[in-house]
Structure 1
């Protein structure tokens, strides 16, 4: 499975959206250089209040660009970085990846997928009604569907730019489905 980086984003301050950049630098074991969520321990604003010393398994947020088209058909205009992701991908089935999949980006950066992003209610502050489009529950099975991308940790640092290739390396079977982190 191969794809491309559509956009890269980072923000130095806590804010829902992240401005697009010409490039971002991934730092091994930390995340995106200069991004508020970078660090060895949890940097999520809410989770820091009750789990401040846990390892940061949410160093990098990736989202598939194809979601924006799906949302546009439902009347929601969303573009890269606006939902807080650091890397917007093209032609990579992020939500179908197993836990532990490696994403090789650009000339050498490597991310390890840790789980699904758990969308929060702030999404409705950004666009009213949007949360119900990115977080749904199947009325028959009772299972949740999370569409807001995946979280990852940086296994090998490097510079990532829009247009860079993405190669997916899945771990050996048996595969574990992604769970929210």
Structure 2
């Protein structure tokens, strides 16, 4: 599976959306340089209050641009960075990757996928009704569907820019499906 980076974003402070940038620098074991969520331990604002020493499995947030196409069809205008992602992609089925898949971005950067982003209620503050479009329960199976991207850790740092290629490497079997992190 091959794809492309369509946008990169970071924000120094806590806010729902992240401004797009010309490039971002990924730092091994930390995340996006200058981003509020970078660090060895958890940086998620809510979870830091009760689990401050957990390893940061949410260093980099990736989201598939195809979701924006789906949302536009349903009347929601959303663009890169607005849902808080660091890297927006096209042509990679992020939600179908197994835990531990490696994403090679550009010349040097390597991310390891750790799990699904758990959408929060702030999505409805951004666009009323949007949460139900990115988080839903399948009535037939009772399983939840999470569409708001995946989380990853930086295994090899480097500069990432829009239009960089993305190459996917699956871990050895047996593959574990993604779970919320």
SS in 1 for 2:70: helix
Moved over 4 A (4+): none
Q: Residues 147-171 of structure 1, C-alpha deviation per residue, up to 9 Å, x if partnerless?
A: 0000000000000000000000000
Query: What 5-or-longer segments of structure 2 have no aligned partner?
Result: none
Q: Residues 104-125 of structure 1, C-alpha deviation per residue, up to 9 Å, x if partnerless?
A: 0000100000000000000000
1:156 aligns to 2:156 (yes or no): yes
Query: 1:16 deviation in Å?
Result: 0.1
How far apart, in 1, do the equivalents of 2:35 and 2:71 lie?
A: 26
1:46 aligns to 2:46 (yes or no): yes
Query: 1:30 deviation in Å?
Result: 0.1
Aligned match of 1:27:
27
Aligned match of 2:102:
102
Aligned match of 2:71:
71
SS in 2 for 1:107: coil
How far apart, in 1, do the equivalents of 2:125 and 2:164 lie?
A: 32
How far apart, in 2, do the equivalents of 1:140 and 1:6 lie?
A: 35
Where does 1:1-181 land on structure 2 (aligned, <5 Å)?
1-181=1-181
Query: What 5-or-longer segments of structure 1 have no aligned partner?
Result: none
How far apart, in 2, do the equivalents of 1:179 and 1:168 lie?
A: 19
C-alpha root-mean-square deviation of aligned residues, in Å? 0.3
Query: 1:65 deviation in Å?
Result: 0.3
Query: 1:84 deviation in Å?
Result: 0.1
Q: How many matched pairs?
A: 181
| TM-score normalised by length of structure 2 | 1.00
SS in 2 for 1:177: coil
How far apart, in 2, do the equivalents of 1:17 and 1:66 lie?
A: 18
